[in-house]
Amino acid sequence: MLASHNEIIYFLEVAATENISKAATRLGITQPTLTQSIKKLEQTLGHELLIRSKSGVQLTRAGKLFLKESRQLIEQWENLKKSINQENDEIRGQYTIGCHPSVSLYTLPYILPNLLRNSPHLDLKIEHALSRIITDEVISYNIDIGIVINPIKHPDLIIRKLKNDNVTLFKSKGMPESKINKILISDPDLMQSQTIMSKLRKTEYIDYKRLYTSSLETATKLCLEGCGYAILPSLVTEEVCSGQLEKVKNAPVFKDELCLIYRVENKNSKALQEIVKHITKL
CB 137 within 8 A of CB 100: no
Per-residue pLDDT, 236: 98
Do 246 and 109 fall into the same domain?
no
Question: When comparing pLDDT for 227 and 14, which is higher?
Answer: 227
Domain-ending residue, one of 36, 68, 89: 89
Lowest mean pLDDT among 40-54, 68-82, 268-282: 68-82
What residues are paired with 209 via a beta bridge? Answer: 183
pLDDT digits (tens, 9 = 90+) for 61-107: 999 999 999 888 888 888 887 777 766 677 888 999 999 999 999 99
Do 263 and 155 fall into the same domain?
yes
CB 245 within 8 A of CB 237: yes
Do 75 and 105 fall into the same domain?
no
For the cut 90, the answer to whether the pLDDT of residue 3 exceeds it is no
Per-residue pLDDT, 5: 86
Do 225 and 242 fall into the same domain?
yes
Do 247 and 273 fall into the same domain?
no
Do 38 and 150 fall into the same domain?
no
Per-residue pLDDT, 188: 95
pTM of the full structure = 0.73
pLDDT digits (tens, 9 = 90+) for 17-36: 999 999 999 899 999 999 99
Residues 141 and 3: their CA atoms lie apart, in Å, by 28
Per-residue pLDDT, 254: 98
Q: With H, G, I as helix, E, B as strand and everything else as coil, classify residue 200.
A: helix
Residues 175 and 162: their CA atoms lie apart, in Å, by 33
In DSSP notation, 82-106 reads: HHHHHHHHSS-EEEEEEE-HHHHHT
Our count of domains for the chain comes to 3
For the cut 80, the answer to whether the pLDDT of residue 261 exceeds it is yes
Do 40 and 153 fall into the same domain?
no
Residues 54 and 108: their CA atoms lie apart, in Å, by 71
Question: When comparing pLDDT for 77 and 43, which is higher?
Answer: 43
Domain limits for position 9: 5-89
Per-residue pLDDT, 275: 96
How many residues in the chain?
282
For the cut 90, the answer to whether the pLDDT of residue 213 exceeds it is yes
Find the CATH number of the domain harbouring 49.
Answer: 1.10.10.10
Domain-ending residue, one of 89, 112, 134: 89
Find the CATH number of the domain harbouring 154.
Answer: 3.40.190.10
Do 154 and 262 fall into the same domain?
yes
Do 102 and 219 fall into the same domain?
no
Domain-ending residue, one of 38, 69, 89: 89
Do 194 and 246 fall into the same domain?
yes
pLDDT digits (tens, 9 = 90+) for 109-168: 999 999 999 999 999 999 999 999 999 999 999 999 999 999 999 999 999 999 999 999
Do 169 and 252 fall into the same domain?
yes
Do 66 and 125 fall into the same domain?
no
